[in-house]
Structure formats: C-alpha cells, structure tokens
Amino acid sequence: MDAVDLEEVLGGRQVVLPGGRDREGRPIIIAKTPPDIASLNKTLLAKSISYVLSILSDDTRSLGVTIVLDAQRSNWRLTRVCVRHILHRLHRDDAVNLIVVRPEAFWDKRVDNCTRIHRQGEPLYLPLSRLNKYVDPSQLTEELGGTLNYDHQQWINSRIRVERFLKMNSEAQGELERVTRLLTGARDGTNNASRTMTQTSATYNNTCHLANALITDGRSLLEEYGVDRITETIGQDVLDTRARVERQLALAQTRLAALHQAWTSLNKSITDAKEVCRLETGVRNVTEWILATGEALLTAHNQVGYDIASAEQLRREHEALELHCRETYGQYAELLHKLDQCTQNGVTIPEDLKAQRDFMDFICRSFATRLERRRNILITSARFFRLVSEYFQTTSEVYENLVMSADLEVLDKAHCTLMQLQESQATIDMLEEAVVREGEKLSDLLAMPVKDALGREISVDYEADIVNVTEILDMTNARSELFRDSVELQMITLRQASHVYEYEKDAAQAIEWLEDLFQVMLKSHCEVGCNVQEIQQQKEEHQAFQETAKGTYEYGCQLLSAALSLRQYCKLVEGDNTRLCAALADAWQRLQSAAHHHMTRLRVTAVLHRTLDQNCKELQELTAAVRSVKGGDGLGKLLQARERLLIEVARMLRLARLLKSRLREPLCSQQ
C-alpha cells in the first residue's frame, strides 16, 4: 500500500497489531467493532484484516494467529456482521483463532447456551474478565485492560517506511533484473557489445546508484528493527518484517552482484573481442609478410658464391636478412604466447582464428626451415671454399719450402726436414678429406628440392654451382695425386739422405773407436813378458785386440760403402765420404802397423826365450855328460857338441842384445 492508503486503512485503529502474543505464543491481532451499523465499512475492515495478516509470514500464519475482536460496545447483529467479514477474509491455510470479547451483560435478543462445547475454528465469545485465561494482560492494550505499551501512530510510520522500502525494492530489483538481462543478452553478440555497453552505461550507473540507495535504506531499516529490547516483548510482526527486509536486502545484493558480474563479463567480452581482433590482425600481418615480403627476400638470394670472399659476403647478407626477419619472428612468438594465454584465461577463440593460427604456425615453420637451409648452404659453402684455399696454400708452401727448397747436402737437417714433411703430409691429407667431405655435403644440399612457405616445390637453379664444386673437387684430386707423388719422391730422397747421415755418423764413430783402440794399445798392450808363458798370454790378448780392431774397421768400411752408394743414388757430393774413407784407412793402417810391430816383438821375444831355455838345457846335459865320459871318442863328440852349442849361444846373445835395443824403441811415432 501507499502511505495514503495505509493512513486511510489503519488510521482509525479498527484493526491493530500491537505485538502481543497469547498464552500459546501466537501473535495477537486486535480488531474493534464500530459503534453502530451505519459506521461499519466492510471494505475498510477487509483491507485492514488482509493487510495486517500480510505483515505476518506464511510460517507464522500457519502456526496460528489469534484475532481478538473487541465487541464490548456493539450489539450482536453488528458483531455477527464483523465476525462474518473477518472470517471471510481469512485464507483456508491460516490457523486463526478468533476471540470475541462481548459485553458483561447478554446482548439484546441474544440467548447463549453457556453449556455448549466450543468447536475448533469457531469464534470464541467471552467477556473481558475471562480473556485473561487466553491472553496475559501484559500482551493486551489498555482498551482491553492490558499494560502493553503500544504507539499506533509510530507503528503506522514504521509500516509506511517498510512499505516504501518494499516498493522501492520491487522497482529496483525489477530494474536490476532488466538491466542484467540486457547486458547478458548483449554479451552473446560480441560485435554489438561495445555499442550496447555505451548505450546502457548511464542506465547501469543509475541502477547501481538506486540499488546502493536501497541497500543503504534497508540496512538503516534493519538497524531500526534491530533495537535491543530487554524488558519489552518483540512482536512477531517485527520479527517477520525484519526477516522479510533481510531477504529482500539479500536478494537486492545478489542481483546487484549479478549486475556487476554481467557488466564485468560484458566489459571482459569487449576486451576479449578487441584482443581477438588484434590477434587476428597480428596473425594476418605475419602471414602476409611471410608469404609476400619474406618469400620475395629469400627468393632473391639464391647464390652460394664461387670463392671464399663471395661466400663470406653472401653469408653476411643472409645474416642481415635473418635480422630483418627477427621482428616478424618476435611477433609470431608473441602471438602464440598471447593465444595460449587467452585460452588459459577462458577467452573463447573463434574457430577461424584457430585455423589462421595453425596456418601461420605452418608457414612460419616452413619459412624458418627454408631460411635455416639457406644458412646451412652458405655456411657449408664458406667452409668449403675456405678449406680449398687453405689446402692449395698449404700444399704450395710445403712444396716450395720442403720439396723444392730442401738442401740435401746438409745431411744433419734431412731427418728434421723429413719429419716436417711427414707432419705436413698428414695435415694435408686431413685438409683433403675435409675438402671432399664439405664439397660432397654442399653438392647434396644444392641438389635437394626447395620448398616455399606453403610446402610447394619451387625451381632454384643450382646446376652451375654444383658443376663448380665438382670441378674444384676434381682439381683438388689431381693436385693431390701430383703433390703426393712429389712428396713421396722427396721423402724417399730425404730418407736416403738421412741414412747417409746416419751411416757416415756411425763410420765417424768407428774411426773414433779405432783411435781409442790405438791409444789403448799404446798404453796397455805394448809390454813384453819375461817368460814364454807370459808372452803367450800377451800374444793371445793382442790377437783378440786385433780382432776387435779389425771388426770395427770392417763395420766402418761397410757403413761408408753403403753411404757412398746412397750418395751416388741421390747424386750427392762424395767428398765427405772420401775423407771419411781416408781417415778410416789411415786409422786402421796406423793401428795395424803398430799392432803388427808389437806382435813381431812378441814372437821374436818368445823365440828367444825358448832358444835360450833350450841352450841352457843342452849346456846342463853336456856338463853332466862330461863327468861320465871315459874314453877319447866320447870326449871328442862332446867337444864337437860344445863348439856347436857355443856358436848357437853366441848367436842368441847377439839376438838378445839386438832385441833389447829394439824394445827400447817406440812402436810408432805417436808413442
């Protein structure tokens, strides 16, 4: 009801809800009959009863309500009409207990049977004095003899505020629901979402302002209905009204939250739509750049170079091309990240955008594969030409420094030169293998089919480059064979020169050994023994010494002979070998002469000692024979033997004196 209707219906206090309860705890509604039948307004009475009952909740009415009709100042006829109208306005589910307070005296023309049993649902007629049996006086107003403090005008004012809140709540919730439906419906069409949001922005703000004002008013109303009453009884209408206000307030808050959610969702859908639009634009731009500009740039670069300078230049140009493509790669990676992020955040990605994304991913990967293949070709080409240049330069340097410029006459350096040549040959072999490997790899890469970003094979003519690589490999192979033959020949020569050096070095060592043997002989093998046994031992030692010297000499001769043959084969100068041969012969001749002289002295000394020993023995035998001679004939023979023996002794003595003088002489001039 409006405030005017509420004042009209309840202003006369014909029906009031003071907040009291009967002894069973049911809320009490107090109605009052008019003074006469003429002043009875049935419509007003019906509205009053209906409104008061509507204040109470359905649960409260189902548990029971007590209506006390104050009929103390009316007659039976008027009371009966009021009772009939009150019962007519009741709902069949309402458990209403109607108590009619009659006058103390019996009504005119009314005879009551006091002994009749009261039935459930029928009005209970009783005097005011018996009302205390059903209702405590503290729950009744002063008109019925109670002490309940009740201000009807204040109650009406509170009800006016409640009705105003409920009416405002109904309008606000209707508007909240309408705007929410509008925003929710607009979210389905993302193309018109921005326009809908612009058109409903003012409505949304006004509705939010209205809902917030309603919630503020409801909270204030709850604070008013929530005053602590320690001594006073809180009426059931207050409890039901507070519960109703709380429900409506909660419903308003829920619908306001739904409105905010709808607004946020619409705003998010607009943001998502803009983001999807930006992503579509980005995907389209990347795709168009790859298919147009990227393919044109990559197609324009299809050479691989013909030497190291051109290959390096092409590689630098390709690096510049890759830098030019890096921005597009960054956009591609950013778009993939944003699309994945949108999917994780719950943004609906259109199917056509997903297809565009897959197509962009395919062509970007294909383009990157072709770009990487181009880079591998250029890197392989640069490495191939660099290896070729290094191979030709290395072989030239080795040929000039170690093959053509090698001085074979300097024999002591031949071995070092041979080692350097062997190391250089190993390095050149490795370079040759690398050249062949990189050349074959480059040819294979050039022969492979080329595909564009869409996966279609395109025609790129690398035939001239393949022919160039093949010719370079053939040249490398021919140079390798020629160089290897020269190196092998030079290595053989160097190896023979090294053998010459080693042989002549060992021959020089043999000469030194002969000199050492000569000195040893002069120091330790020049003495002559004092008897035959000692001389015999010296002869044996001297013969062993001569055998050693002879072996050394023959070893030196063999070495010099082999060195001479190698010198003649290598066409080397024979002067050093001749000088070594002369030195060896001279050392051997000197040693052999001294050794022969010493051996002669040993032999002569040995003969002398044996002859002298024999002479002494014969003299002793002759002396013994003289003592035993008894005839002239025997003595004559002894005398003849003595003459012959004395001649021999005299000759041996002269030989001994000559040998003594010769032993004082040196074996050679060096002694």
Q: pLDDT tens digits for 16-61?
A: 888 888 888 888 888 888 877 777 777 777 777 888 787 777 788 7
Q: What is the mean pLDDT of residues 470-479?
A: 84
Q: What is the mean pLDDT of residues 540-555?
A: 82
**What pLDDT band is residue 230 in, cutting at 50, 70 and 90?**
very low
**What pLDDT band is residue 478 in, cutting at 50, 70 and 90?**
confident
Q: What is the mean pLDDT of residues 390-417?
A: 66
Q: Do 419 and 401 touch, CB atoms closer than 8 A?
A: no
**What pLDDT band is residue 395 in, cutting at 50, 70 and 90?**
confident
d(CA 474, CA 447): 18
d(CA 322, CA 319): 5
Measured over the CA atoms of residue 397, residue 399, residue 405 and residue 410, the dihedral's sign is positive
Q: What pLDDT, on a 0 to 100 scale, did the predictor assign at position 652? A: 79
Q: Which of 584, 578, 585 is nearest to 564 (CA)?
A: 578
One-letter amino acid of 268: K
Task: Put residue 490 in one of left, alpha, beta given phi > 0 → left and psi -120 to 50 → alpha.
Answer: alpha
**What pLDDT band is residue 10 in, cutting at 50, 70 and 90?**
confident
The token duo for 298 is 């990559």
d(CA 335, CA 307): 41
CA atoms within 13 A on the CB side of 36: 2
Residue with more model confidence, 4 or 202: 202
Q: What is the mean pLDDT of residues 165-189?
A: 72
Tens digits of residue pLDDT in 199-220: 666 777 777 777 777 777 777 7
- Domain 3-148 CATH assignment equals 3.40.525.10: yes
Q: Which fold has domain 162-275?
A: Topoisomerase I; Chain A, domain 4 (1.10.132)
Q: Which of 32, 240, 231, 20 is nearest to 134 (CA)?
A: 20
Mean pLDDT of the chain: 76
Pick from 225-229, 347-351, 610-614 the range whose average pLDDT is largest.
610-614
Continuous segment of H or E residues that includes residue 31: strand 28-32
User: DSSP for 158-195?
Assistant: HHHHHHHHHHHHHHHHHHHHHHHHHHHHHHT-TTSHHH
Strand order in the sheet with 124-127: 15-16, 28-32, 65-70, 96-102, 124-127
Q: What are phi and psi of 118, to 5 degrees?
A: -80, 130
Q: How far is CA 59 from CA 18, 166, 238, 321, in A?
A: 19, 20, 14, 83
Q: What pLDDT, on a 0 to 100 scale, did the predictor assign at position 108? A: 46
Q: What pLDDT, on a 0 to 100 scale, did the predictor assign at position 59? A: 80
Q: Where are the domains of the chain?
A: 3-148, 162-275, 301-495, 525-663
**What pLDDT band is residue 374 in, cutting at 50, 70 and 90?**
confident
Q: What is the mean pLDDT of residues 365-386?
A: 86
d(CA 410, CA 493): 13
The token duo for 629 is 């001679």
For the domain with range 301-495, which CATH number is right: 1.20.144, 2.170.140, 1.10.10, 1.20.58?
Answer: 1.20.58
d(CA 101, CA 67): 10
d(CA 578, CA 359): 90
Q: What pLDDT, on a 0 to 100 scale, did the predictor assign at position 631? A: 63
Continuous segment of H or E residues that includes residue 545: helix 532-570
d(CA 57, CA 15): 18
d(CA 415, CA 410): 10
- pLDDT at residue 228 greater than cutoff 60: no
